[in-house]
Amino acid sequence: MRHELWDPEIHNHRISDQPAPLVSFILKYDLIIWNEKDSEPTFETVNGKSWIDITMSSVNLANKKMNWQVVQSNFNDQNYLVFNVESFNATRDPPRIFFNHRQILKICRAVHQKFLESQEEIQTIDSKQKLEKWIEELTNTPIKLVKVSQGKC
């Protein structure tokens, strides 16, 4: 798909592809195109070359762009796009774990058992350090069960 936003100006006798939907998408979401007009083509064969691969991102990420380039491949017609992104702090939500009914019951039983076993221990907690250790052990009980039920232990 050819377009002046990412292609160098090359005379082509073929009818150009219709990039309108992609360009509309880029404009709608205010994306920045990383491709450079003077870069090597992203696709090359003996019959021709093309700039068919496009790297784009939000403005925020584009400000972190470093060293975008096309690296020629010796093994196929598709060249590699290589770039670095300056490091930044990104927050990600922790992965959600979904439990079936059987797993929930198993976790409830294990936590209940932990409380029963810990009744005397709870009454002997006399420092912040012991309390934090006990809370950590209690918190780890369901986590261990989840890992076992998912085959990760």
* Lowest-pLDDT choice from 37-41, 66-70, 121-125, 137-141: 137-141
**pLDDT for the residue numbered 15:** 55
**pLDDT for the residue numbered 122:** 81
**What pTM was computed for the model?**
0.44
Single out the residue of 23, 88, 19, 18 nearest to residue 56, CA to CA: 23
**pLDDT for the residue numbered 153:** 46
| pLDDT above 60 (res 11) | no
Record the tokens describing residue 68, joined without a space: 């975008």
**Of 58-62, 84-88, 116-120, 148-152, highest mean pLDDT:** 58-62
**Mean pLDDT across the stretch 87-94?**
61
What secondary structure does DSSP assign to 73-121, as a single string? -SSSSBPEEEEEE-------PPPP----HHHHHHHHHHHHHHHHHHHHH
Strands 80-85 and 43-45: unpaired
**Mean pLDDT across the stretch 72-96?**
73
* Lowest-pLDDT choice from 8-17, 27-36, 125-134: 8-17
| Residue 79: burial class (beta carbons within 10 Å; 0-12, 13-18, 19+) | buried
- Give per-residue pLDDT as tens, 103-135: 888 888 887 887 788 787 788 888 888 888 888
107 or 13, greater pLDDT: 107
Dihedral sign for Cα 131, 133, 139, 145, please.
negative
Work out the mean pLDDT of the chain and round it to a whole number. Answer: 76
